[in-house]
Amino acid sequence: MDQLKSALPEGLRIGKIHHVAIIVRDLEAVLDLYRDKLGLTVETVMSIPYDRVTIGFLPVGEVKIELVQPDDDTTGAAKFLESKGEGFHHVCFEVPDIQAALDRLAEDGLQLIDRTARKGPKARSRSSTPRAATAYWSS
C-alpha cells in the first residue's frame, strides 16, 4: 500500500471512487442478496466479451458496486476467483486524464497491468493498474 500512496501525489487529481468490484461465481444468486433482500437498484447487467465477464452495477449513493462474474475459466478474473474466492476484487478511482495518470504511475515505478487505457463498460476509458494495490482508474 505504501507503493500506491507514494504514487498518488496531487498531480493525479483523484476525483472520487467510481466503484468497488466484488468477484462472484453466480451473478444471479448474488443479485438475490443485493437487489431482492437489500433493495438496491440494478443499474445494468452486461456481458463484456473482450474481458469474458458479465458485470452488474448497483449504485449506492455516489459510488457503485460492480459484481463481476467470469464467463470463461481461463481468464484472469476466473483465476483470481479460483485462488482467492468470492469477495473484494478492485476499487476504481476517477481521474480527469487516465493516460496521464497511468504515465505518472509508471514513471513512479508502479507495476501496471496496462500501460494504456482500455475501453471499459458503458464506454468509459479504464485501465487496470498496480497489481499489488488492486486499483483501476476511470476517466
Q: Which of 85, 100, 104, 102 is nearest to 136 (CA)?
A: 102
Question: In this model, does residue 123 exceed pLDDT 50?
Answer: no
pLDDT of residue 122: 47
The CATH number corresponding to 2-138 among 3.10.20.30, 2.40.50.100, 3.10.180.10, 3.40.50.1110 equals 3.10.180.10
Where are the domains positioned within the chain? 2-138
pLDDT score recorded for residue 138: 57
DSSP β-ladder status, 53-60 and 44-48: antiparallel
Alpha helices in 7-137 (DSSP H): 27-31, 76-84, 98-107
Q: H helices of the chain, where?
A: 2-6, 27-31, 76-84, 98-107
Looking at residue 97, its pLDDT comes to 81
CB atoms within 10 A of CB 30: 19
Quick one: average pLDDT of 73-78?
A: 92
65 CB neighbour count, 10 Å cutoff? 17
Residue 111 grid coordinates: 507495476
First to last CA, the chain: 22
Give residue 58's pLDDT: 97
Instruction: Give the distance from CA 70 to its chain's centroid.
Output: 13
For residues 10 and 45, which has the higher predicted lDDT (pLDDT)?
A: 45
Q: How far apart are CA 2 and CA 108, in angstroms?
A: 12
Predicted confidence at residue 117, as pLDDT, reads: 76
pTM, full prediction: 0.80
Residue bearing the bigger pLDDT, 94 or 32? 32
Q: Which comes out higher in pLDDT, residue 40 or 128?
A: 40
103 pLDDT band, cuts 50/70/90, is: confident
pLDDT value for 70:
98
